[in-house]
Structure 1
Amino acid sequence: MTMEIERTEEEEEAVVVVTPGEELGRSSSLIPGKGSYLAPHNRTVYASITGRRTLIQPSPDSPDQRPIVEVTGHKAHGAVPEPGSIILARVTKVMPKVASADIMCVGTKSVREKFTGVIRQQDVRETEIDKVNMHLSFRPGDIVKAQVLSLGDARAYYLSTAKNELGVVSAESISGATMVPLSWTEMQCSVTGQIEQRKVAKVGG
């Protein structure tokens, strides 16, 4: 009984809250576990979610004596974006080379923490990448269906809409009405009939 209490106190002392993109240590001394990932370019382990950092010590007979670092969400677990995930995000800002968005859902599950995504110019579509105009592809407030490429450097996930079925799925026109998709590149205001350009997600087969 005494040993259990002592171990619990030690674990409580080791509790550190970290946020996505925060450095946890070098891969030479840590093995990335749940809630963390290894960046190959600098062999550094980073947190991928907000939560408590914990170290799991290896068994004495383990050939690898590096501890495993895990990040456990301090809230009830919502969905967490991972490379390859299909997500829904709301565009918050559009710049010449990149659009920022707040991730709302991973698959069909809503997220409970704030995850930011960015769509870079080269990840908007598959063809004629150099001709992509970010301001004609997305507008703030658009709901975008995208695929997670990776966790980028600025604590934001890199997102891609470079597939036919990815892109804007819901948008409001300048006048505030719902937009209806016309083609891959155009949506029409359901009230005024005005046409605006977007990188539209293909609906159906």
Structure 2
Amino acid sequence: NMSPRKLCVPGEKLCSTEDCIPGTGTYLRHGYIFAALAGYVFRKNEGEELPVISVVKETEAQLLPDVGAIVTCKVEIYKIPSLTGAHISLGDVQSNYLLTTAENELGVVVAHSEAGVQMIPISWCEMQCPRTHGKEFRKVARVQPEFLQA
């Protein structure tokens, strides 16, 4: 459950460490978890016995994807940034996300070569730079027609 519970202010006592695990935007003191910044309080179960409680700035709260959401995002796992269609799952307690492109239709949508040129997909697993003709391995997304802008 990722829905925000309430707004909080820095220093506000959120709960006991018996009820939750501290996440981002929080700090521990004397067995209690406090808000480190102003924002929305989120509790999410990540498979541990206790939910993780975190505070997210108001401007970022609307940007948090749910676990299992399919997203389009910029990733820089390689030295070359790519836009990737990916599936979300939760990473560690600090609210990092893990992305997977395991489903057939998910993968790289836009990639740029080392020459800075937008690459062209030539198969499901390769993209080619139109300037240098160099090929790079990428799992190419099979973008559904309804998601393409006219």
* Counterpart code for 2:110: S
Higher helix residue share: 1
Q: Which residue does the alignment assign to 2:44?
A: 37
| Alpha carbons 2:112, 2:119 under 8 Å: kept | yes
Per-residue deviation, residues 120-158 of structure 1 (Å, max 9, x unmatched):
xxxxxxxxxxxxxxxxxxx53111111112243343111
Per-residue deviation, residues 72-131 of structure 1 (Å, max 9, x unmatched):
x3x37532111111112222234xxxxxxxxxxxxxxxxxxxxxxxxxxxxxxxxxxxxx
**Percent identity among equivalent residues?**
30
* Counterpart code for 1:45: V
Q: Which residue does the alignment assign to 1:90?
A: 74
- What RMSD over aligned residues (CA atoms) do the two structures have, in Å? 3.3
Q: Does 1:15 align with 2:12?
A: yes
* Counterpart code for 1:50: V
* Equivalent-residue separation in structure 2 for 1:13 and 1:149 (angstroms): 28
* Equivalent-residue separation in structure 1 for 2:144 and 2:62 (angstroms): 28
| Alpha carbons 1:85, 1:147 under 8 Å: kept | yes
Unaligned runs of 5+ in 2: 1-7, 15-21, 29-39, 146-150
* Equivalent-residue separation in structure 1 for 2:121 and 2:138 (angstroms): 9
| Alpha carbons 1:91, 1:142 under 8 Å: kept | yes
**SS where residue 89 of structure 1 aligns?**
strand
Number of residues paired by the alignment?
A: 120
Q: Choose 1 or 2 for highest CA Rg.
A: 1
* Equivalent-residue separation in structure 1 for 2:9 and 2:126 (angstroms): 55
